[in-house]
Structure 1
Amino acid sequence: MKRQRPVGRSSALAVVLGLGCSLVAVPAAADEPHAPQVRWGACPEDVVAEAAPTELECATVPVPVDYADPDSSPIDLMISRLASANPDERRGTLMLNPGGPGGSGLALPALLVARGLPAGVLDGYDLIGMDTRGIGHSAPVGCGFAPDGPYNANIPPYAVDDAAVTAQAKVAEQVARQCAHHDRDGVLRHLTTANTARDLDRIRAALGEEKTSYLGYSYGTALGAAYASMFPERSDRIVLDSNIGDTHLDRDGMRRYALGMEQSFPDFAKWAAARHDSYGLGRTPAQVRRNHLALAGRLDRTPVAGVDGNLLRLSTFGLLFKRTQYPKLAQLWQTLADGDGTAARLLPQNATTEKPTSFDNSLSVFLAVTCNDIEWPKSVDTYRHGVAEDRERYPLFGAAAANITPCAFWPYTPAEPPVAVDDDGPRNVLLVQNLRDAPTPHLGGKMLRQKFADRSRLLSVDDGGHGVYVLGDNACALNITTRYLVEGRMPGKDTLCQAG
């Protein structure tokens, strides 16, 4: 799913009707470890630079490309470690995932330290970051995307009418063909959440651990839910922060981006209305909303400095991730409303500022995992009807989130059904969720709570933004989550942390 540092990139993002094949038999678990099999050494220079001043160790762990074929060629996954600051207090490993799919996580231990990860967690665990299969230093894949190409974001463009859906379908079909053409080594088709969960278990075994704890953000909640379901006896303390609602992202999940934006926008509108004399976006939250819709419609007809209504909506969605980005969003609107040609330089940092290889890799992994996990509808009319529905239900962003994606034309049929959430296991899944979150609305937390049943507890936070634990600023949520990771004290019931 659309990500922000450390939960993902800072631009607008990224964040099903049945299967046509039977379940492929695959081994569920790795062999039990007898001794650690990992040799730690120096990390690549780019990881060292991103993690500085924190020093990490790195290593590789071999895993099968295809778990259904034991003789398939292995690939090496790169992992990182920030060892326990107090070995006498160490209780195990805490695997980390920043989201995506498509986000590099090698530097995540250092990024969480920089954000103030509590000492009890640093003492209690070796923090394990990683580039999951297909990403960065772990057998990277690419479809050959360029930042200036027709496909440059993992959310489709806002469809102003039926013709726009048809036009996007042609782009999506070409993208699917392009990915198939570039999949020369056959890795792309094996990028799935289930296979990545199996990789986590291989890493656990290679580290010599009987169990592993896990902290995942955004799409990382899908991966963590899959691991806890596939390997309940191997899962220790699991924290899933900003949940997408299942073990995979499907069409319904992507359409929930529009719900999340509707629920998150009022926080910004209230903020902007209180600063009307500075930005002039509206004297009341209702005026701010009306002015936004009017500006987006005007840009649909007459772009300013190359910024059209779609790019405004996409940028607004991305900048709603954090309250600290509100001033940038207000500045962008103000400049566009004035028709100022300097608006382009005010856009949030996005895919066009990434290195082409990084951009291609991130977007390709997002597509591969999303499309391989579950079969998406094939009919363009299905998306056309969804766009019409969501344009009315969710005027801010519905006609983007419901638009057609390359998954409708994906060349590979899912090799197995998506991982089903297993409620038969230890009560060890803490779900953490802001009430207002653009890419992962609170509904996602409630959905996983229902699926995990008594295995889980839902910690809701009366706040907005994407990412709660360490990434947010709510003392109640920080304390409860830290208490669980350090002491194993799961809340006795679902809990709401008040604002502040």
Structure 2
Amino acid sequence: MKRSRSIVRTSALLAVVGLTVPLATAHAVAEEPDGPEVRWSACPDDVLAEAAPVDLECATVPVPVDYSDPDGEQIDLLISRVASASPDQRRGTLMLNPGGPGGSGLALPALLVNQGIPASVLDTFDLIGMDTRGVGHSAPVGCGFTLEGDYYSNVPPYAADDAAVLAHAEVVRQAAEDCERNDSDGLLAHLTTANMARDLDTIRAALGEEKTSYLGYSYGSALGAAYASMFPERSDRIVLDSNIGDTHLDRDGMRRFAHGLEETFPHFANWAAARHDSYRLGSTPEEVRETYFVLAESLDEEPVAGFDGVTLRHITFAMLYKPSQYPKLAQQWQALATGDEEAARLLSEEITPTQEGPSIDNPISVFAAVTCNDVKWSTEVDDYRQAVAEDRETYPLFGAAAANITPCAFWAYEPTEPPVAVNDDGPQNVLLVQNKLDPATPHLGAELLREKFEDRSRLLSVDDSGHGVYVLGGNSCALNTTTRYLVDGEMPADDVLCPAD
């Protein structure tokens, strides 16, 4: 059972795989720095290895721990760059965020280059990656979480009954206490989306730019929405891809994971049914869906190679992120359905991080801190019990996981300011990019953000499945439309629906 935990952890990191008018608080916005200019040099070896063969350069930018005390304690943020090769065509900077919260973005410029981001974008912008505050090389935090511990995933486990919710409540209570006990530097309470947006503006100023453009995926959509809302006149061309629906991830956003899986699962079920002779998961989409429930329930009673029903539900959620992963998911189901422990074990090893790999502590800790600090969560266990019971019926595939209790119910720190309100008073410069089917950030999230930004935004929907559209997906219409906006500033006159290629 221990081995299966790292598979659940994979799904959790992929999910969030997380997220104005001036805030009515005493917190200041980022000030123009008076310090030295950014000095670029070689990146750390681990970043260069992840970026290969692209050669990145890195620099540090100091930011206040607490923006209400800008002259107080500072931390250094590490940023990275793929510089424009065409100074005469260069417009400015395109800041990037891969999601999370808690995901490292230092290698993201290289990833986009390796994935084939158009040369016109590389000519127009310096691509700027970064580890946001608390992450990786930027004053990292940790609560002491391990794969062998009881708390090992951003996404709660599926609660088969009321007792499972109560049992997990004790796990997340301990997780919250672990975070408070290990917060020796006092940074945890300052990990918020609002502060990360202020950091973006500090980085913009340190780079000598009057404005910055931005491309963020998943939770990165929340950070970009916050930046465009807090600093509308300093935001240039903003692309928010795979949207969580607001400037932060809250209970409603977490529960939308279940909504997204219900919408996306039929895409996989149709795929599997068309290949019934090969995988034997069902000859119709309805039969494939029934296979899911039967298999999950049988694994709850008798796990195979460490896989129980909780693990099956989480790995299915994670692997519906990309249609290219459907064959591997079908293989896994097939091995589990036949009780083939050796095949199930070998397949799990292909997708499972090893104990010698990167620690889960930092990304899981940052995810907890940002989501719990951004907005006040219910402290009543009964609220989560009720939500799980409701969503188990409404979203039977995954509702009893997405609605389960999190450490935020027992978080030691109170939010220091309200969540960033979406500001619809600003330039029309927010392009929302979204697949119609997405397990982690369903289309509803983009619809909600489109409504909040009103005339500032346009929605580019893609009639396809997957998490991540621009460059990371394969749709030509979405690629061309987004590239025209980034390079030429050509915002669609109306919302756009791109057909599947």
What is the TM-score with the length of structure 1 in the denominator? 0.95
In the alignment, the residues of structure 2 paired with residue 498 and residue 307 of structure 1 have an alpha-carbon distance, to the nearest angstrom, of 37
In the alignment, the residues of structure 1 paired with residue 70 and residue 345 of structure 2 have an alpha-carbon distance, to the nearest angstrom, of 51
Matched letter for residue 293 of structure 1: F
In the alignment, the residues of structure 2 paired with residue 91 and residue 227 of structure 1 have an alpha-carbon distance, to the nearest angstrom, of 19
Report the alpha carbon displacement of residue 267 of structure 1 after superposing the two structures with TM: 0.8
In the alignment, the residues of structure 2 paired with residue 409 and residue 388 of structure 1 have an alpha-carbon distance, to the nearest angstrom, of 21
Report the alpha carbon displacement of residue 298 of structure 1 after superposing the two structures with TM: 1.0
Matched letter for residue 203 of structure 1: I
Report the alpha carbon displacement of residue 357 of structure 1 after superposing the two structures with TM: 5.6
Matched letter for residue 110 of structure 1: A
Matches for 1:205-354 after TM superposition, within 5 Å: 205-342=205-342, 343-347=344-348, 352-353=353-354
Any stretches of 5+ residues in structure 1 without a counterpart?
A: 1-7, 16-21
Q: C-alpha deviations, 1:125-162, integer Å up to 9, x for none? A: 00000000000100000000111111111011000000
Report the alpha carbon displacement of residue 31 of structure 1 after superposing the two structures with TM: 1.8
Report the alpha carbon displacement of residue 186 of structure 1 after superposing the two structures with TM: 0.3
Quote the residue 1:489 is aligned against.
490
In the alignment, the residues of structure 2 paired with residue 266 and residue 361 of structure 1 have an alpha-carbon distance, to the nearest angstrom, of 34
Q: C-alpha deviations, 1:73-101, integer Å up to 9, x for none? A: 10000000100021111000000000000
In the alignment, is residue 100 of structure 1 matched against residue 100 of structure 2?
yes
Matched letter for residue 493 of structure 2: G
Quote the residue 1:76 is aligned against.
76
Any stretches of 5+ residues in structure 2 without a counterpart?
A: 1-8, 17-22
Quote the residue 2:477 is aligned against.
476
Matches for 1:186-201 after TM superposition, within 5 Å: 186-201=186-201
Q: Runs of 4 or more off by more than 4 Å in structure 1?
A: 8-13, 348-352, 354-357
In the alignment, is residue 443 of structure 1 matched against residue 440 of structure 2?
no
Report the alpha carbon displacement of residue 304 of structure 1 after superposing the two structures with TM: 1.1
Matched letter for residue 347 of structure 2: L
- SS of the residue 1:458 aligns to: strand
Report the alpha carbon displacement of residue 345 of structure 1 after superposing the two structures with TM: 3.0
Report the alpha carbon displacement of residue 71 of structure 1 after superposing the two structures with TM: 3.7
- SS of the residue 2:335 aligns to: helix
In the alignment, the residues of structure 2 paired with residue 312 and residue 400 of structure 1 have an alpha-carbon distance, to the nearest angstrom, of 12
Report the alpha carbon displacement of residue 300 of structure 1 after superposing the two structures with TM: 1.1
Q: C-alpha deviations, 1:381-436, integer Å up to 9, x for none? A: 10001001110111100000000001100000000000000000000000000000
In the alignment, the residues of structure 2 paired with residue 247 and residue 469 of structure 1 have an alpha-carbon distance, to the nearest angstrom, of 20
Tell me, yes or no, if the aligned pair for 2:12 and 2:155 is still in contact at 8 Å: no
Report the alpha carbon displacement of residue 24 of structure 1 after superposing the two structures with TM: 3.5
Matched letter for residue 432 of structure 1: V
Report the alpha carbon displacement of residue 10 of structure 1 after superposing the two structures with TM: 5.8
Tell me, yes or no, if the aligned pair for 2:11 and 2:315 is still in contact at 8 Å: no
Matched letter for residue 252 of structure 2: D
- SS of the residue 2:460 aligns to: strand
- SS of the residue 1:272 aligns to: helix
Matched letter for residue 262 of structure 1: E
Q: C-alpha deviations, 1:312-340, integer Å up to 9, x for none? A: 00000000000110011000000000112
Matched letter for residue 425 of structure 1: G
Q: C-alpha deviations, 1:328-372, integer Å up to 9, x for none? A: 100000000011212133237667536566310010001000101
Tell me, yes or no, if the aligned pair for 1:423 and 1:452 is still in contact at 8 Å: yes
Tell me, yes or no, if the aligned pair for 1:176 and 1:411 is still in contact at 8 Å: yes
Quote the residue 1:5 is aligned against.
none
Give the direction of change, closer, same or farther, for the CA distance of 1:167–1:351 in structure 2 (3 Å limit). Answer: farther
In the alignment, the residues of structure 2 paired with residue 437 and residue 241 of structure 1 have an alpha-carbon distance, to the nearest angstrom, of 11
Please report the RMSD computed on the Cα atoms of aligned residues, expressed in angstroms: 1.6
Matched letter for residue 231 of structure 2: F
- SS of the residue 1:233 aligns to: helix
Aligned residues: 486
In the alignment, the residues of structure 1 paired with residue 152 and residue 185 of structure 2 have an alpha-carbon distance, to the nearest angstrom, of 24
Quote the residue 1:25 is aligned against.
26
In the alignment, the residues of structure 1 paired with residue 51 and residue 251 of structure 2 have an alpha-carbon distance, to the nearest angstrom, of 35
Quote the residue 2:400 is aligned against.
399
Report the alpha carbon displacement of residue 32 of structure 1 after superposing the two structures with TM: 7.3
Report the alpha carbon displacement of residue 29 of structure 1 after superposing the two structures with TM: 3.2
Quote the residue 2:499 is aligned against.
498
Quote the residue 1:150 is aligned against.
150
Which sits farther off after the overlay, 289-298 or 68-77?
A: 68-77
Give the direction of change, closer, same or farther, for the CA distance of 1:142–1:476 in structure 2 (3 Å limit). Answer: same
Give the direction of change, closer, same or farther, for the CA distance of 1:329–1:145 in structure 2 (3 Å limit). Answer: same
In the alignment, the residues of structure 2 paired with residue 482 and residue 218 of structure 1 have an alpha-carbon distance, to the nearest angstrom, of 19
Q: Percent identity?
A: 70
- SS of the residue 1:383 aligns to: helix
Tell me, yes or no, if the aligned pair for 1:242 and 1:440 is still in contact at 8 Å: yes
Quote the residue 2:459 is aligned against.
458
